Every structure is written in C-alpha cells, then in structure tokens.
Structure 1
Amino acid sequence: MLSSAKAPSLAPFEWVALGGVFAIGTAAALNPATIADGPIICPIRSLTGLPCPACGLTRSWVFATHTQWTDAVTANAFGVPLLIAAVVAAIVAVVWRVRDRPTPRLEPLLRRPAVMGAFALWAVYGAVRMALAA
C-alpha cells in the first residue's frame, strides 16, 4: 500500500542552497583544462564583447573545485567568495532542516548592509572590467 505521507516542501532559501549544491557539483565535474575553450554563454558578452560582472563565474567555480585558486580568482574575483557562500547556505539549510527549524528568509538576508555592500562592490568590479576590456 502506498504511503500518503507528503514530501516536505522546500523553502526559498533551501531552493537557493540546492541550486548552489547543483552548481558546485557541475563545476567539480567539468575539466578545468578545457573550460576556457567553451562557448560564450553570457548574452551581454555575446552582444557587446564586454564581460558582465558574472562573466567568469563558471570558470572560477570549476578552477576552485579543482583547487586552482589563482585561476579561480583570475576568472572572476567574486567566484571564490560566492562559492563559499553557496557552501555555507547548503550547510545552514541542512542543519536547520535536521533541527526542524524554519530556514532563514531570503529577503531580510539580502537587505543586510553587508550583502548590499557586496552587491555594490560586485557591480563596481563589473564596471571596471567592462571599462578595461573596452
């Protein structure tokens, strides 16, 4: 007889954490020796030829998951901190789920001054990269 137990639904924070885990797993499965030869998937770079703030994040994560730290930072300086944030989010989501606590809400986290400052710094970084590439 089939169980009528309903699978627990995921909170938005858990979906973000799950997406991070999937991205980390994908990055670890890719070969860092061939990652630079791939197609340009960024629409901004395809249209303008200039790198957006997110350009290089995939390569950065691939290099980082293979402990090639210099290449990771060179690909995108925000790649390693973002990778660390994804790992922390996954750990928090699992621990809070195991302890049967509600996960953090995304909106208040994103409105924290440190997070907003990091986004602003990332935007400046992207603008500088675009200016230097022009």
Structure 2
Amino acid sequence: MSGRPLISAAWSASTVAIMTTPALRAIEWDGTAWDDPSEEKLHDLLADMSLTWRFVVVQRLDTEPVGQHYMQVYLNDDLSYQVEYREGGPDRHFQAHVPREHEVFAVEPVAEVLQHWAFARPGWREALSWAPWPPVEPLR
C-alpha cells in the first residue's frame, strides 16, 4: 500500500459532479443543447440561424435563481435580430433590436455581445441600446 491517504468514493464522486457542472448551456430552436459552449460555438450557433432555425438561448447555470439568467437571440423576418437578456426577475429583463446592415458580417455584432455576456467580459451592456421587456406602453 502506498503512503498516500485514500479518498472516499463519496467524496470523489461529489467533487467530480461539482467540477463537471456546466456554467452555461446554449439551446437551439429544436431543443439541441450545448453545455459550456466555446466562443466559436456561440458564434456558429448564431451564424447558422435562418428563417427556419430562428433562435438561440444561452442560460447561466451558475447563477441563482437558475432559469432566470439568460441571453436569447431571435432572427426576425427582415433578418434583423431581437436580443434579450434577463438577470433575475421580470424587472431585470431587457431587449435590443439589431438591424441587419451587412449581409456577410451581419451576425458579428450580435455574436460579440453574446460572447462578452457569456464570458463575463465588460462592454456588452454598452454595445446595444437596451430597453425594458416587455416594452412599456405610454400612458394615454
């Protein structure tokens, strides 16, 4: 027997579970899920969107309450993008519209915002003009 202490199976199993729990999950319109997607994967998921494959949702799984921290991108009929993020309750849900300006690089500004949000980099909030979701209707 070696001089090293033995690690109990229960301890090592729980440690592995903690280490392998994903922080992010990207979900395509058909329900296909990608755990801890790379920046490249996030870009590719957005670049592959079409009028059939219209949206991608990226959830934070490491922030409470789970299911209330996400960013989603929807491709509109005119090929512009609807981008939303939520940080907790409904009062922390925002949206932005991104027009399609250049055919080849149309997804780039949206992909950059999503990547910065996903990897907690500064600048994503300032990159788009965010408004509360749902839009507040003016008083009549």
The TM-score normalised by the length of structure 1 is 0.30
Rg larger in structure = 2
Higher RCO (CA 8 Å, separation ≥ 6 residues): 1
Richer in helix (by share): 1
The TM-score normalised by the length of structure 2 is 0.29
